[in-house]
Amino acid sequence: MQIDWFTAAAQAVNFLILLVLLKRFLYQPILRTMRAREEAIARQVEDALRTREEAARELAAHAQMRRELEESRTALLAEARDETAGRRREMEAEARREVAALRRRWQEAAEAERAAFLDGLRQRTGREVCAVARRVLRDLADEDLERRIVQSFLDRLAHLEEPWPPARGREEEPEEVTVRTSVELSPRFAERVREALLRRAGREVALRFAVDPEVICGIEARSRGHKLAWSVRDFLDGVEERLFLTAPVATEPLLAEESGSVR
C-alpha cells in the first residue's frame, strides 16, 4: 500500500494547526480560569486565616478585659467591705463612748442626788433621834441627855491605852485640841471634858470648844489629824452605808439595757 505523502503531510499540518487552535482558544483560557480560581481560593483562605487571627486576638482582648473588670470589681467590693466594717467599728466605738459618758453623767447625778438625800436624811434623823432621846431620857430618869453624851465620850476616852492626842516630841507651844459638840456644853460638863482630856494627854494642851451641827448628838475631839468621837453620827453612818448599798439596785437594769442596745 502506497502512502500518499501529500495527504499525510496535509493531515499533519492540520493536526498541528488544530493543536495550536486548541491551545490558543481552549487550553489557555481554561488554564487562566484555573489559575484565577486558585488565586481567588488562596486569597479567601488567607482572608479567612487573617479573620480568624483577628477574632482570636479580639477574643483574647475581651477575656483580658473581663478578667480586669472582675479583678476591679473584687477589689472594689473588698474595699467597700473594709470601709463599711471600719465605719461600723467607729460607730460602735462612738456609741460605746456616748453610752459610757451618759452612764458617768447619770451616775454622778445619782451620786450627788443620793449624797444630798442621805445628808438630809442624816440631819433629819439626827434631829429626830436627839429629840426622841431627850424625851425618853426625861421620861425614864432624872438625867439629862447632855450628861449621857459626855459620859459616853469620857468612857471612850478612859478606855484608851495610850495618851491622847499622841505626843510628837518636844514642842515650844501647847498642842491645840478642838472639841466640837452639836450644842454648847454647860460649864459643868465642859469642865469635866477639859479635865479628862488634860489627864489623858499627860501634858499641857490648848483646848478650844466649838459648836458644829454636823456632830449629831455627840462630842468630837480633833488634834492634828487625830480624832476621838462619840455621837449618833456613827449610827447614822452605818444606816447611810446600808442605804448606799441598796440604792444602786434599781439603777442596774437601766444601765444594762443602755449598754446592751449598742452591741
Mean pLDDT, consecutive 10-residue stretches, the chain (263 aa), reads 75 84 81 88 91 90 90 89 90 91 90 83 71 56 67 86 72 78 85 88 85 82 85 65 54 46 47
Predicted pLDDT at 4: 75
- Whole-angstrom CA distances from 202 to 158, 189, 195, 196 are 13, 20, 11, 10
pLDDT 10s digits, 36-48: 889 999 999 999 9
Asked whether residue 167 is domain-assigned, the answer is yes
pLDDT 10s digits, 120-131: 777 777 667 666
Asked whether residue 201 is domain-assigned, the answer is yes
Asked whether residue 248 is domain-assigned, the answer is no
Residue labelled with grid coordinates 494547526: 17
Asked whether residue 30 is domain-assigned, the answer is no
Predicted pLDDT at 100: 92
Structural domain span for residue 194: 144-230
Q: Are 254 and 109 in contact (CB under 8 A)?
A: no
DSSP 214: T
Asked whether residue 206 is domain-assigned, the answer is yes
Q: Which residue type occupies 259? A: S
Asked whether residue 189 is domain-assigned, the answer is yes
Q: How many domains does the chain have?
A: 1
Asked whether residue 204 is domain-assigned, the answer is yes
Asked whether residue 33 is domain-assigned, the answer is no
Predicted pLDDT at 140: 43
End-to-end CA distance of the chain: 132
